[in-house]
Amino acid sequence: MGWKDWVARLHRRIHDFEDRAAAPRFGAIGAGSNVLMPSMLLHPEHLFIGATSTIHPYCRIEVITENPHLEGPPLPDRDARIVIGDRVVVNSFSHFGAMSRITLGDDVGIASGVCIEDHHYEYEGASEDRPLKKQPFRVADVVIEDGAMIGEHVTILPGVRIGRNSWIGANAVVTTDIPPYSIAAGVPARVLRTLDPGTGKWERA
């Protein structure tokens, strides 16, 4: 091996080391899973991903452990985390924000531009002297059960549980729980059809 080959190999090793050093350190990531860059990851050490799942580029995945507004009240310690199961696909431009817990089961599909947050500002105490950013947060876990499909630009609000194998139509705003084997859409989302276990047919709700 000539000296040029030796230098080229050394450069590759240096770049590989730099890439590994700059790579996010996840809480856990299963075999065959990929988080494709560029994406914004805040506290990836609190992000737990199962096997053969994919997060596509330009996603914003945030585990929030401190109040983003310096004048706001401090956040209690909640062991915040985002848990993503096996064989999950999260498409580009989606945003997850967790102050407590967001859980996606196995085989969940997340279309582009989906927003899932387990928190929002309280507003009852807002005044001229106390804007919203100084209010405390309402925080409640979000759960998306196995096999659920979330359409493009859906927003899922704190405290929502979406049942197994349910489908949420594009642009819906989900404010309450959706039962398993349901099709829901609208603002706010409401159940349009459910699967009748006796007949195996989808019936109007």
CATH number of the domain residue 108 falls in: 2.160.10.10
> How many angstroms separate the Cα of 183 from the Cα of each of 111, 150, 160, 162, 195?
16, 10, 15, 10, 9
Note whether residue 11 is domain-resident: no
Question: DSSP alpha helices (H): ranges in the chain?
Answer: 3-22
Note whether residue 197 is domain-resident: yes
Claim: this prediction has a pTM higher than 0.75: yes
The string over 125-161, giving b where at least 16 C-beta atoms fall within 10 Å of a residue's C-beta and e elsewhere, is: eeeeeeeeebbebebebbbbbbbbbbbbbbbbbbbbb
pLDDT under 50: residue ranges of the chain: 7, 10-11, 14-22
Note whether residue 115 is domain-resident: yes
Encode pLDDT of 80-121 as tens digits.
999 999 999 999 999 999 999 999 999 999 999 999 999 987
Closest of 111, 178, 170 to residue 142, by C-alpha: 178
How far is residue 122's CA from residue 99's CA, in Å, rounded to a whole number? 14
Phi, psi angles (nearest 5°) of residue 18: -65, -40
**120 is annotated as an active-site residue:** yes
Note whether residue 12 is domain-resident: no
Per-residue model confidence (pLDDT) at position 23: 56
Sheet holding 95-98, edge to edge: 40-42, 60-63, 95-98, 115-117, 155-156, 173-174
Residue 198 makes CB contacts below 8 A (sequence gap 6+) with none
Note whether residue 2 is domain-resident: no
Catalytic residue among 56, 95, 120, 153: 120
Range of the domain at 177: 26-204
Closest of 178, 56, 62 to residue 116, by C-alpha: 62
Per-residue model confidence (pLDDT) at position 20: 42
Note whether residue 8 is domain-resident: no
Per-residue model confidence (pLDDT) at position 18: 39
**Number of structural domains found in the chain:** 1
Per-residue model confidence (pLDDT) at position 8: 56
How far is residue 17's CA from residue 183's CA, in Å, rounded to a whole number? 48
Note whether residue 6 is domain-resident: no
Note whether residue 142 is domain-resident: yes
